[in-house]
């Protein structure tokens, strides 16, 4: 499978616990994005990386959220001290970043569905 | 007010019908416009994108952009039951990488 993969697909946790999600992008893609989608809404941008550098973070990304892409390949998104409002689908996408047109082709993974009890 | 507005539907059409899906936006800096299809509990799948104003056709799908009206459309010809999904419009400025999405329109194509 050469698409974007995410792990786990589902995560149920109790309020206050920490959770970590992983995203493996398409192998030749140097840009990686995280979005969050709640029920009945479109995805909302959280952050993105070019290679290992985190270039932009949304105001949605509170200090309880941290994302890394240590070697410019896979990425992790950690949420500390989870709250019920964090319940959502966390989507990862990747793209090439060599030109403006390539950035338009963001390919999404299947998402990680987080439920905070 | 959201930057991108999209009617959530649901929109129900018979098989074979032409479907029209639309979004309006307020940010005049948006230059690239995408359409994604999302099946239930799956990630969005890129259908097509257009740059600035004009039309683009890909098989049964046609995307239109009218920047003067800040209005974009996706037309689906000869709709099939397999087209039943949520359709998301997305857009970005020329300098930003992040996509700004609409809420999505849920489409149901009936036999």
- At B8 the three-state DSSP class reads coil
**CB count in 10 Å sphere of residue B82:** 8
Q: What are phi and psi of A101, to 5 degrees?
A: -65, -35
pLDDT of A1 strictly over 60:
no
Sign of CA dihedral B40, A91, A95, B6: positive
- Tally of CB atoms within 10 A around B21: 22
Q: Are B86 and B7 in contact (CB under 8 A)?
A: no
Residue B8, phi-psi category: left (phi > 0), alpha (psi -120 to 50), beta (remainder): alpha
What is the sign, positive or negative, of the torsion defined by CA atoms of A77, A92, B95, B21?
Answer: negative
B98: contact with A, CB 8 A cutoff: yes
Residue A41 to residue B103, Cβ atoms within 8 A: yes
Residues B30-54: pLDDT tens digits? 999 999 999 998 999 999 999 888 8
On average, the pLDDT of chain B sits at 94
Contacts of B6 in chain A (CB under 8 A): 42
Contacts of B3 in chain A (CB under 8 A): none
Measured in angstroms, the CA of A32 and the nearest CA of chain B are apart by 10
* Out of A40, A43, A55, closest to residue B44 by CB: A43
Distance, in angstroms, between B100 CA and closest chain A CA? 7
Q: How far apart are CA B30 and CA B111, in angstroms?
A: 37
Distance CA A78, CA B108 (A): 36
Over residues A25-59, the pLDDT tens digits come to 999 899 999 999 999 999 999 999 999 999 999 99
């Amino acid at each position: 499978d050469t698409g974007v993969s995410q792990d786990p697909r589902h995560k149920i946790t109790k309020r206050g616990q920490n959770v970590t999600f992983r995203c493996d992008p398409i192998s030749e893609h140097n840009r990686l994005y995280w979005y969050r989608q709640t029920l009945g809404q479109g995805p909302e941008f959280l952050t993105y990386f070019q290679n290992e550098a985190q270039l932009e973070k949304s105001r949605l990304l509170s200090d309880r959220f941290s994302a890394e892409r240590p070697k410019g390949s896979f990425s992790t998104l950690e949420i500390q001290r989870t709250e019920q409002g964090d319940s959502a689908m966390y989507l990862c996408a990747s793209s090439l970043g060599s030109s403006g047109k390539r950035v338009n082709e963001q390919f999404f993974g299947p998402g990680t569905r987080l439920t905070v009890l | 007010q959201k930057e991108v507005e999209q009617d959530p539907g649901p929109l129900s059409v018979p098989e074979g019908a032409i479907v029209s899906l639309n979004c309006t936006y307020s940010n005049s800096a948006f230059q690239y416009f995408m359409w994604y299809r999302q099946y239930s509990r799956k990630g969005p799948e890129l259908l097509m994108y257009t740059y600035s104003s004009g039309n683009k056709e890909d098989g049964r799908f046609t995307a239109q952009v009218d920047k003067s009206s800040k209005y974009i459309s996706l037309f689906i010809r000869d709709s099939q039951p397999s087209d039943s999904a949520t359709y998301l419009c997305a857009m970005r400025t020329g300098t930003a990488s992040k996509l700004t999405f609409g809420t999505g329109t849920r489409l149901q194509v009936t036999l």
